[in-house]
Amino acid sequence: MKTSIIIWAYNQLCYLQQCIASIRRYTAAGTVEIIVVDDHSTDGTKEWLGSQPDILCICNEEHKGYPAGCNQGLQLASGDNLLLLDTDVVVTQGWLDNLLHSLYSSDQIGAVAPVTNNSAYYQSLPVTYQNLEEVQIFAQRHNRLNPQLWEERIKLVGCCMLIKRAAVESAGQLDESLEPGYLADEDYSFRIRFGGYKLLLCRDTFVYHAGVEHFTNGPGGHYHWFNQNLQKFSAKWGFNLTYSTWIRHDITGLLENPKTQAITVLEIGCACGATLLKIKNEYPQAKLYGIELNEQAALSAKLFADVIAADIEKTTLPYEEEYFDYVILADVLEHLTDPWKALENIRPHLKPGGQILASIPNIMHFSVLRSLLQGNWTYEEAGILDKTHLRFFTLNEIKKLFTSTGYQVGSYRPNTIYESPADQEFIRSLAAISGNSLLQEQCRTYQYIVKARRPVGACPTFSAERILDDRKICFVICEGDEAKFPQCLSHIEGLEIPSGYEVEVLNVTNCVSMAAAYNQAISQSNAKYKVYLHPDIYIIHKTLLQDMITIFTNPQIGMLGVVGCSQLPANGIWWEAAGKYGKVYDSHSGELGLVAFQEIEQPYQAVQCVDGLLMITQYDLPWQQEVFAGWHFYDLAQCLEFSHAGYSVVIPRQQQPWCIHNCGVVNLSNGYEDDRKVFVTAYLQDLQPR
């Protein structure tokens, strides 16, 4: 298999020489042909190329521009694969092998690109280096084939883009009207995708990119040509490229569920689908839906998601009730005539505990207030006073918007922009005049990122007269890591079952939260003893069940766990407490090792709280699902509920850890801090005073 490397060159001989030298050094001989199109350079490029026997040269007698030059190279190329490479790229060890592996990992893949130190559209990787030698040392460590680091994209930046010949034949030539070259790669990306192929960004492959400006010739310079081509692109494709391909990392970072869950997500205003595609990369089993007003942009998102082109205010939502885990409204509500009605219409389609994730401009931003104080309220092409905005909100109005339409506001996070010293002084002056201590923060907030939940409903009640089987043990596992669940189950099956006892395993799927899942288990199982554990817990203490039953002969004991603390600190984080007990094999640091706290001398140690990795109860108390609709602090809350009910929580003495917690590096960005604040507020009287 041969790859044709096509390099368009114009007056950058020193970079071209570095590029060619790196190809020769880090690419196997006989696997590539190098084609350089010299676009009428005046710096000696033509003469140097004439002395290079391994390079196929096209020397233009007049300047044609990047798209036309690349097309010349594509026509000359004889390879099975065609690689468009910028002059100022230095390739690295293993670069082409890695890219070819990803390109041919599926017939559906049409083009791939590596990450670099200098790129737009989220393709850069921060690298510290002093020279190119250090870059190569970094790349040697980094360039390890890893399909887990491949991401599907709606477009690729073309400084190093490897394309199958079949995809090129489907897409045709680069659009020469996009002279001198800006956005030609974005345009080609969409043509490849609409030809039936996918694009991959390969984060397991790094090349160096100097980032030299290629297209500075001509009147007006960079911004003139870039903006002109933006207009051409919009006229050709029917949507604004910048707005319609934005990946909202501030929104996707709010998703809380385990990555293996088949979550259901609807994005209203999904544009070309860049944010939905980001979710697909992180949640491979996710079911993705979109509604987009712009029909042309919707066609792009429709290539991988269930998308309709419609006006959200004029459409009856064609979805089942209680279906979605998340509905995304990123910069949408301010464009609606009646956002209150829209939120009311969405609510029935959210699962109980399902969330709205929204971004909403803040009309109290200092830039708006300053203009208003000068007598101005001037609409703009973009920003808080965008011409298309119909509604305006302060933080208080945002809260009322959601609470009045039947939601619980879980959190709101500020997005800010640059403030000059003069801006900061203006904000301080406003706050001083108003006497409002919160005004400074609100004036600095350009936009609020809001999480609002559909209420789960009150905690279920479980009658004390329920007949429970005191010879039955139920293992309750909330759906999570499917790869680890079989091993978790295997360890359960390997336990010694006390004579006369029955064991059942209940795997709760499609759960909106841990607390809701565990309440569901209580309603389904009549076992007296319930063992709540994560799917990444492997119980290695063979006699756990008999030891558990022995401890529970004391009716005062309601719950036991394997690690915990005697008194929660004021911040609610149990592992930061002074008195910690228990032990477990744990891999939260990235490597499996023993985590051991104070030794327990007696058969068990009474504590205030235990960690939710393994919790065993002999009484059914409702889990606090109306308070904890996510994945954190439900466990500590339940421990305190047992204490409030008059029961003890204990940790048994363990000669060796009773279980392995194969969690890997723990992600605390999926709602942890929001849940912590809720926990501290709800159980303040139980926490150690500051």
Token pair 């327990």: residue: 600
Q: What's the rounded Cα separation, in Å, for the pair 374 and 414? A: 26
Amino acid sitting at position 112: V
Q: Is residue 179 part of a domain?
A: yes
Last residue of a domain, one of 453, 483, 518: 453
What's the confidence (pLDDT) of residue 240? 95
Rounded-to-integer distance, Cα 452 and Cα 7, Å: 50
For residue 95, give Cα distances in angstroms to 145, 165, 201, 208. Answer: 10, 19, 13, 11
Work out the number of other CB atoms within 10 angstroms of the CB of residue 421.
Answer: 7
On whether residue 36 sits in a domain, the answer given is yes
pLDDT digits (tens, 9 = 90+) for 572-631: 999 999 999 999 999 988 899 999 999 999 999 999 999 999 999 999 999 998 888 888
Domain contains 463: no
Give the separation between CA 488 and CA 508, rounded to whole angstroms: 14
**Do 227 and 308 reside in the same domain of the chain?**
no
Q: Examine the domain organization and report whether 229 and 273 are in the same domain.
A: no
Asked whether the beta carbons of 339 and 393 are under 8 A apart, the reply is no
Question: Do 516 and 411 fall into the same domain?
Answer: no
The pLDDT tens digits for 306-361 are 999 999 999 999 999 999 999 999 999 999 999 999 999 999 999 988 999 999 99
In angstroms, the CA 250 to CA 265 distance is: 16
| Residue among 162, 166, 174, 236 nearest 199 (CA) | 162
* 458 domain residue, yes or no: no
Q: What is the pLDDT of residue 365?
A: 96
Are the C-beta atoms of residues 128 and 80 closer than 8 Å to each other? Answer: no
Inside any domain, residue 460: no
DSSP 204-240: EEEEEE--------STTHHHHHHHHHHHHHHHHHSS-
Identify the pLDDT of residue 480: 64
Question: 229 and 252 share a domain?
Answer: no
- Domain count along the chain: 3
The tokens describing 583, both together, are 């032990």
* Contact residues for 53 (Cβ-Cβ < 8 A; gap 6+): none
483 — pLDDT class (breaks 50, 70, 90): confident
pLDDT at 217 over 70: no
Pair (280, 375) in one structural domain: yes
Domain CATH for 216: 3.90.550.10
Alpha helices in 509-630 (DSSP H): 514-524, 544-551
Q: Do 226 and 248 have their domain in common?
A: no
In-domain check, residue 486: yes
Residue 459 pLDDT > 70: no
Task: For the beta carbon of residue 359, count every other beta carbon within 10 angstroms.
Answer: 20
Residues 289 and 360 in one domain: yes
Q: State the number of CA atoms in the 13 A half-sphere of 256 facing the CB.
A: 24
Q: pTM, whole model, 2 decimals?
A: 0.79
- Using pLDDT thresholds of 50, 70 and 90, give the confidence band for residue 681: confident
Is 461 among the domain residues? no
Q: Between 184-194 and 66-76, two packed helices, what is the crossing angle to 10 degrees? A: 50
For 101, the domain range is 3-237
Q: Which two tokens stand for residue 549?
A: 């039953």
Same domain, 228 and 266: no
Neighbours of 29 (CB within 10 A): 7
Residues 265 and 204 in one domain: no
- Residues 475, 420: one domain? no
Confidence of residue 216 (pLDDT cuts 50, 70, 90): low
Residue that is last in its domain, among 222, 237, 252? 237
Q: What tens digit of pLDDT does each residue of 67-91 get? A: 999 999 999 999 999 999 999 999 9
Instruction: Supply the CATH number for residue 350's domain.
Output: 3.40.50.150
H/E stretch holding 661 reads strand 659-661
Whether residue 375 lies inside any domain: the answer is: yes
Quickly count: other Cβ atoms within 10 Å of residue 126's Cβ.
5
Q: Are residues 508 and 650 in the same domain?
A: yes
Strands 527-533 and 469-478: parallel
Q: Tell me: do 222 and 251 sit in the same domain.
A: no
Last residue of a domain, one of 220, 237, 254: 237
